[in-house]
Amino acid sequence: MPPQTYFLVSLPASIAESDQPSDALTTLRSAVTTDSATTYPFSIPTFKIGTLEGLVQQADELSKLEQSSRGVVEKVADSLRSLLEGDEDKIREQKVVNDKPVSAYLTSFAWSKTKYRSDNRPVSELIQTLQKELNSIDNDTKSKFTQYNTASQSLTQLQRSQTGNLSQKSLTSIVNPEWLLKPDASEYITQHLVAVPTQQGKEFLKTYEGLSEWVVPRSATLLAKDDEFFLYAVTVFKKQSTEFVHKCRERRWTPRDWKFHEGGKEAEDEELRKLEKEERSLWGEALRMGRTGYGDAIVAWMHVLALRVFVESVLRYGLPANFVTGIMKPEPKRAKKAKQMLDARFSDLGGNAMNRDKKGKPIKDDSSTQTEMAGAGMGGGNESFEPYVFYEFEIA
């Protein structure tokens, strides 16, 4: 399913004759036909305002924080995609906000006064609160998914060790400890296990004694074989062990590490069952964390956007704050048309920054004023200047 585009639009209440936000919302709705987009109210409270210089700085901070917010949402979404192996139907089931579809949350947005208390709090404090929230979401989800991935990799490694040929698989169920010297049986000699390709078996038996000094003659013992490899045990004096192993590798014979484990095959099977149980448990925890983290990240992102809209609206339209904000949900493949309708209706709000071509269509004038405002974090993150407060984003 392609991502859904949304517009956040803020206009001064003066676009309505009554100068009332409710009537201004009606005017905004009437600017775009319903076959192109549907407009919903986007309720933003009035925040405590400081100096003009402070607002300009906060606009820049919010621009960066919004990019960070998008990044957190995308990272959590990617983690869910990996966890659910790209199954889009299952992924969509988990990408919710408070157990509801994201679209339902966006089109009924209201500032969370319990989570982000706004009464008499300056914008700067709210920015800090949202930054901490996003960092917490990012760290918590990353930690849980890392924990799951580590367990999954350990399980995969153990499962692989129980399959394959004698050069790869675990030897716990193959080698009887009674066939070999115990590790502390001798101060001077040790045994090495070597996996030799079946077609090189005769060559190995003819040459292994000369691979290095101090190889015990006629010590090669066949322990096991499969369709691809023979597994031999060779006795070597410890002081030549490193040289012997090196020479085996040069001939593409595979030295196998083997250590005696109390319990043998039964202990290995028990470890496998333990890892399988742990992996299943962590998978469920990661899924729950991903579902919660995704919803919380969307909520934080929208509150950052709400602050951006408020700050830019005050900078553009002045005080007292009297503007209306709507969120638009364009129909598939109609986003460009919806934007053209908005520009045609409200381009005059851009003043000298907007001109018209010979056909009367609004065009933008890339002036230094636009560049300065874009540099202050205004204009939806685009380089071009909009005649009104406008932000476009997508939810995949």
Pairing of strands 189-197, 254-256: antiparallel
Output phi, psi for 127, to 5 deg: -60, -45
C-alpha distance from residue 313 to each of 12, 135, 309, 372, 376 (Å):
8, 27, 6, 16, 13
| pLDDT score recorded for residue 32 | 96
Position 288, amino acid: R
Mean per-residue pLDDT, 255-268: 72
| pLDDT score recorded for residue 235 | 95
Q: Is the pLDDT of residue 263 over 70?
A: no
Length of the chain measured in residues: 396
| 172 closest CA partner among 210, 224, 213, 120 | 224
Provide the mean pLDDT of the chain: 89
Question: How many percent of the chain have pLDDT more than 90?
Answer: 74
List of domains in the chain: 1-45+331-395 (no CATH), 47-163+263-320 (1.20.1460.10), 177-260 (3.30.70.100)
Q: What is the pLDDT of residues 107-159, one digit of tens each?
A: 999 999 989 988 878 999 999 999 999 999 999 999 999 999 999 999 988 88
C-alpha distance from residue 298 to each of 73, 78, 79, 89, 301 (Å):
6, 14, 15, 19, 5
Q: b or e along 264-279 (b: 16 or more beta carbons within 10 Å of the residue's beta carbon)?
A: eeeebeebbeebeebb
pTM of the model: 0.79
Q: Is the pLDDT of residue 226 over 70?
A: yes
Written as one string, the DSSP assignment of 115-183 is TS--TT-BHHHHHHHHHHHHHHHHHHHHHHHHHHHHHHHHHHHHHHHTSS-TTTS--TTT--GGGS--T
Q: Is the pLDDT of residue 77 over 60?
A: yes
| Backbone conformation region of residue 264, classed left if phi is above 0, alpha if psi is from -120 to 50, else beta | left
Q: Is the pLDDT of residue 366 over 60?
A: no
| pLDDT score recorded for residue 70 | 96
User: 91, 84 in Cβ contact below 8 A?
Assistant: yes
Structure tokens at 395: 């939810």
| pLDDT score recorded for residue 90 | 96
